[in-house]
Amino acid sequence: MLTDLTILNIISFLLIFFIGLPHGSFDGAVASLVGFSNRMQFLKFIFYYLILFSLVILFWVYFPIIALTIFIIMTIVHFGLCDWTNYKINKYKYPISFTYGMTIIFGIIFFNEDQSFLIFEYLTNNNIYSIQKYFFIPYFLTLLSIIYFIYLSLFEKKLRIGIIEILFLLLIFYFFDPLLSFAIYFCFFHTYKHLKHLIKNIYLHLKNKYFVIYSTIIFTIISWIGGLGIVYYLVQNLSLYESILKVVFIGLAALTLPHMLLVDVIYRRRFK
């Protein structure tokens, strides 16, 4: 069934699948950079990564609403920390991270609430519209954080360009549907900032430069093949749209936990 799958949906999925997801394939290089340097250590890293990945998927199967909530919180934290790192300042870590994370997630939901909750329903197989009336709380917190961010920009010049960026993102979220809005931010803002910071440190501190290329290509191809295989399996019982939606976002959730532990907990402590 292709009834739910529009041209914009296809563009969104292709962007996330072929540009957004592969940025996590650099995790092999990051692992080597932070200490998983010899063969045995690297195999341990892959083992732990796959265990965490599998546990997240199992948790989502049995507790989908809780898993979705945790995924949203993790995404806010991960996006926010990446945007804060991009400013290369040691202060205002929490307000900057909170502002960006909340603006991305709840900005998208605010301007596309009905479509966003339909996606949530697909991802959880549950009617979760009962909590929709409480979303004024994160919307209000997001607005307050943006106001505070503007206030901080009076004292920190680097944040002034951030005001333009945040307003530009909100315009994107206003004009485009939630999938395309997420894809644009994830692929062209988050992925760019993440890789810009990461690649510089990898090539400065990692001796085996070819390993970066080989490991990234291998992990990318594995993620593509695995994703397409699961879509093929799900499409036997679900629409193509719902199948891709589940693979992309539940897959992102499963990758986000080990990715965050590696990047936000271990990597950022050493390379701010």
- pLDDT single digits (tens) 22-69: 777 888 888 988 888 788 998 999 999 999 999 999 999 999 999 999
Q: What is residue 4's predicted lDDT score, i.e. its pLDDT?
A: 67
Q: What is the mean pLDDT of each run of 10 residues along the chain (272 residues)?
A: 72 89 82 85 92 95 94 96 92 96 98 95 89 95 98 96 97 97 95 84 77 84 90 91 92 91 86 69
The answer as to whether 265 is a domain residue is yes
If one counts the domains in the chain, the total is 1
- Neighbouring residues of 23: CB distance < 8 A, sequence distance ≥ 6: 190, 191, 194, 195
Domain containing 86: what range? 7-270
Terminal-to-terminal C-alpha distance of the chain = 47
Q: What is residue 272's predicted lDDT score, i.e. its pLDDT?
A: 63
Q: What is residue 2's predicted lDDT score, i.e. its pLDDT?
A: 42
Q: Pick from 100, 96, 112: which is nearest to 8 by CA?
A: 112
Q: Pick from 162, 25, 27, 21: which is nearest to 84 by CA?
A: 162
Q: What is residue 1's predicted lDDT score, i.e. its pLDDT?
A: 42
pTM of this prediction?
Answer: 0.91
The answer as to whether 2 is a domain residue is no
The answer as to whether 1 is a domain residue is no
- Neighbouring residues of 197: CB distance < 8 A, sequence distance ≥ 6: 82, 85, 86, 271
Q: What is residue 103's predicted lDDT score, i.e. its pLDDT?
A: 98
Element at 44 (helix H, strand E): helix 39-62
HSE at residue 50, side-chain half, CA atoms within 13 A, is 10
